[in-house]
A and B are shown apart, each in its own frame.
Chain A
């Protein structure tokens, strides 16, 4: 009975197509929030999420809607992250639902980035309801969009609600079609408990709050539960739902979406995708598809001022409380001093962490170029993993190096196939497969080294396909590769923080490019500074920063001494942010400069 009156759904949309605004309207319409409580875009809670217009963490909210049959329905909206770094998290949020709203902008039509998530939703057998938004804008072409949805995705869009989330038009039709089209959850209340964790966060008072979707069984306070991947047991102290603020209920049953707290001390114990069951009556099998996500990308993070090292550690520890995918360990660099080697799910995750450290913890950071983890078989038979290029053993001590490979899927209009293939070849991609998923769209599969896509692959793909290609990747394992360590020397001294691992065939071009880039970024010094790129002892590229010849103000502006002093103060500020490497002063951008090379 209760299940018949429940619908669990999420919203899939391209950035700017109005996902958050629609979510807000749904909350408003169902009275989940009073107008006073309505802050714009309630679900995107992090400042960063709002600014970037993306969702980083999943959120959930429970709506109560009175349908035209006079009955009250419970609609659980689960908001999903929207980036390739978080594909796994997205798939788990989707797995907590039976249906999804596919929001498409009436003037722009389907955009490439929507597709990857849409296909994820289809994989989970979700019922998809197309919703056409922004119909009140000039240039809205709802019929064209409907046709597009039918042709591209093969969904029937005839009855798609035409709405304006911004102006509250057509919201009721959306609510009605959720009830009419999305199937109610199934699963027995009586079966052994199986609840899917789709997110969790750490609360200072209650410990971990895990967001769950109960698939089977019932969970209530006092229950002894077990996390199925690690066998850890806890006692449930609290269960509840999202109204949207956490509010306790007596129990959660099969089909419900809610949260539990159980005195759990670390989000590491409640990883996304894991299954919660009862300790005394465990389920036979956990829910499918749990993966322990390992960091894919590493970089060094250093405080700009050495004295802030402890502050950085504290900040990382705090972020880790809420981010099970973030790992870090102390490391030392000759150039940068004390810092941490941090591991991330992907580049966006890395950027987000860096930005949060800088913004929420007010830290000034120097970061090194990202690297993947290499596996090295040493001549003495030992196997080592290298996440910091500096630590790569010398060539004579290595038998071989392996690097992580991924299978890359790109969906794009067929006119860009040539450009995409060219890009993938440049990035050492190995062509695997291409198929037409409809008359004008293709799915291209390449096998590529992860280190070729962590820099700027997505940006390059977007620019070469005018934003129409979507891209996703899947880790497939390690393969041997002809890799070398490329060192950079300033005034003859190797700068550890600038070392990178590159494919041998690309080393020369890259060495030259880095040297040229550094020449642009490093200001002239009192003496000439040679920049060299080297593989082992062999110099493969050289540039010279000429000595500073002139750094003097011609005159004192009619007695305006203050202006001159202020100019010097500004110059001094700039100098303070430089890193002293040997006798060379290097600006912080230099350490990221190796990234910005095509």
Chain B
């Protein structure tokens, strides 16, 4: 039996955030029911195809999945359990925005199997929430966490961002302080990346906002890392921190280059040496599923060269890095056989370490991971 993760996408939002380039839309609420119907049909199509697999994680992402009535989510989860071999202790996460959850809703979700909540706070200060186009107020976070605890959810993660336009180190630390005060189990800290096509991108190009320099960005990163560490949240990935034992298992599947299947519009999968994704548009997706026509807008066969590279690319995001033994088991040869030259060169530059069992990045290497990865490219 192999392990696999499921990702289920809910592309609905009350308002699209100014930095968001994910397939998520506002003002499409009347499509929720047809969408859930299509989603269920897509799930059913997989019936019998994953008999050799045990579902280790389910991740309900978005958009804002908590905009969907809890009963519908419960229905989807039930369907998963009836179709697939979902492990009893599977990690089942739902994403939420502060202020979009009620106590009752969370109880229903908890009863349907959800055991982890990931809350998108992004920033504490109202001015940053405004720039980012977030519609919640900072105190909404406190209620949301309280509700979750009351509902019996004891695995809570909060997403926060640094490197925001005009953000100071003190503001960043205040955000982390507020988060740590809540005694949660997991924190993701993302450095803001302004993607083409977003409102922030337009503002940036017009000079209406400016981003911190690389130096300022890193100083927030380092200070944040230290702060979280002092509060018992240990870094286990470039952007992720957890109380030991509370690492996000679903994301670990990605980073270990494991298999996962994405359901819903724009969802990505890696299965049977293929990567593919569904149509991003809600209507296009529903239409494709309901008419039984092609619903993938992208499909790529991953040959072994790419699989090896992707294993490196993802594995080096982890603080503990890549296990030499697992690499050998997966590809049949020692990692040095393929990447010896790159590893030696990077070790000389103090960007990477081989501690005997694991190959991992140094803290400096983490800052420039892309540059490090370029050394592994074009090699077999």
Contact = CB atoms under 8 A, between A and B. Distances in A.
Contacts of A552: 191, 238, 366-370
A561 B298 CA distance: 12
A580 to B, nearest CB: 13
Contacts of A553: 193, 369-370
Contact of B193 (A549, A554, A568, A569): A554
Contacts of A548: 214, 368, 371
Contact of B367 (A551, A556, A558, A562): A551
Interface string B349-380: 10100000000000000111111011001100
Contacts of A564: 313
Interface stretch (B30-38, B199-207, B264-272, B335-343): B264-272
A551 B275 contact: no
B239 A559 contact: no
B310 A549 contact: no
A550 interface: yes
B277 A568 contact: no
Nearest to A527: B349
Given A557-B22, A572-B378, A550 B7 contact: no
A565 B306 contact: yes
From DSSP, what is the main secondary structure of chain B's interface residues? Answer: mixed
A526 B375 CA distance: 13
A571 interface: yes
A560 interface: yes
Contact of A565 (B239, B298, B310, B351): B310
Nearest to B159: A555
A549 B367 contact: yes
A575 interface: yes
Nearest to B260: A559
Nearest to A561: B310
A561 B193 contact: no
Contact of A562 (B238, B239, B300): B300
B214 A549 contact: yes
A558 B369 contact: no
A555 B190 contact: yes
Interface centre among A553, A558, A567, A568 (most CB of B within 10 A): A558
B309 A572 contact: no
B214 A550 contact: yes
Contacts of B260: 559
B214 A571 contact: no
B116 interface: no
Contacts of A567: 370
Contacts of A560: 268, 277
Interface in A541-598: 546, 548-562, 564-565, 567-569, 571-572, 575
Interface string B229-258: 000000000110000000000000011000
Contacts of B373: 568
A575 B374 CA distance: 9
Nearest to A549: B214
Interface in B108-146: none
B269 to A, nearest CB: 7
Contact of A559 (B188, B268, B377): B268
B16 interface: no
B314 interface: yes
Most buried by A among B221, B267, B275, B374: B374
A551 to B, nearest CB: 4
A552 B317 CA distance: 10
A555 B266 CA distance: 17
B262 interface: yes
Nearest to B299: A562
A546 B262 CA distance: 42
A553 B368 CA distance: 9
Contacts of A551: 367-371
A560 B22 CA distance: 11
B111 to A, nearest CB: 27
A556 B22 contact: no
A548 B367 CA distance: 9
A551 B218 CA distance: 10
A585 to B, nearest CB: 10
Nearest to B370: A551
Interface in A95-135: none
B61 interface: yes
B264 to A, nearest CB: 10
Nearest to A562: B275
Interface in B287-316: 298, 300, 306, 309-310, 313-314
A549 B217 contact: yes
B162 to A, nearest CB: 10
A558 B61 CA distance: 8
B186 interface: no
A555 B377 contact: no
A561 B270 contact: yes
A569 B377 contact: yes
B218 A554 contact: no
Contacts of A561: 254, 268, 270, 275, 310, 313-314
B370 A568 contact: yes
Contacts of B270: 559, 561
B225 interface: no
A569 B239 CA distance: 22
Interface in B1-33: 7, 9, 22
B215 interface: yes
A36 to B, nearest CB: 46
A577 B368 CA distance: 20
Contacts of A571: 370, 374
A551 B372 CA distance: 9
Contacts of B351: 526
A444 B111 CA distance: 91
Interface in B160-195: 188, 190-193
A549 B218 contact: yes
A558 B368 contact: no
A231 to B, nearest CB: 58
Nearest to A550: B214
B55 to A, nearest CB: 15
A565 B270 CA distance: 14
Contact of B7 (A554, A559, A562, A565): A559
Residue from A548, A551, A567, A569 whose CB has the most chain B CB atoms within 10 Å: A551
B269 A559 contact: yes
A297 B349 CA distance: 43
A568 B238 CA distance: 17
B240 to A, nearest CB: 9
Nearest to B255: A556
Contacts of B188: 555
A569 B366 CA distance: 19
Nearest to A524: B214
B185 to A, nearest CB: 19
Nearest to A552: B369
Contacts of B190: 554-555
Nearest to B253: A559
Contacts of B371: 526, 548, 551
Given A559-B254, A561-B268, A561-B310, A526 B374 contact: no
Contacts of A562: 268, 275, 298, 300
7 contacts: A549-B367, A550-B214, A552-B367, A552-B369, A554-B238, A561-B268, A561-B314
Given A550-B214, A551-B370, A559-B268, 19 more contacts: A524-B214, A546-B215, A548-B371, A550-B367, A551-B371, A552-B191, A552-B238, A552-B370, A554-B192, A558-B7, A561-B310, A561-B314, A562-B268, A562-B275, A565-B306, A565-B313, A568-B374, A571-B374, A575-B374
